[in-house]
């Protein structure tokens, strides 16, 4: 398993989740090198943009977006899935893969960049 590091933004986002839900979410968020090498059929996904890879972990009502940097899992954002469901509904794109839509969304990448630029805790 790899060490998980939250930045200021992702730490604030996860702190908004009720404590027991946080524990369940983090209990499910088990990241290893072997998991990331074989993502098929798992709760993990990958979004590629501008030659870089961003991983997504999906659990219950949350999405955790992270990178592997210097042998650590650096969490950039912890977002409620409903924010994406609402987006898909309003865009009438509900039949399209969530990761494919995010890959093309400038707003999503702006959120990720804010997370990347936030100080690590």
pTM score over 0.85: no
Helix (H) or strand (E) run with residue 1 in it: none
pLDDT digits (tens, 9 = 90+) for 32-75: 888 888 887 778 988 888 888 889 898 888 989 999 988 899 99
Decide the pairing of beta strands 52-59 and 62-69: antiparallel
Is residue 102 scored above 90 in pLDDT? no
Is residue 82 scored above 70 in pLDDT? yes
Higher pLDDT, 47 or 89: 47
Q: Domain 3-116: state its class.
A: alpha beta
Nearest of 68, 102, 79 to residue 12 by alpha carbon: 79
């Amino acid at each position: 398993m790899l060490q998980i590091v939250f930045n200021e933004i992702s730490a604030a986002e996860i702190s908004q989740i009720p404590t027991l839900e946080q524990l369940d979410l983090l209990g499910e968020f088990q990241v290893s090198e072997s998991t990331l090498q074989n993502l098929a059929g798992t709760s993990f996904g990958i979004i590629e943009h501008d030659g870089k890879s961003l991983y997504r972990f999906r659990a219950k009502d949350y999405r955790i977006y992270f990178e592997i940097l210097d042998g650590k899992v650096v969490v950039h954002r912890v977002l409620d899935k409903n924010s994406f469901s609402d987006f898909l509904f309003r865009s009438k794109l509900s039949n399209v893969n969530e990761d494919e839509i995010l890959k093309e969304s400038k707003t999503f990448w702006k959120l990720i960049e804010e997370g990347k630029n936030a100080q690590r805790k």
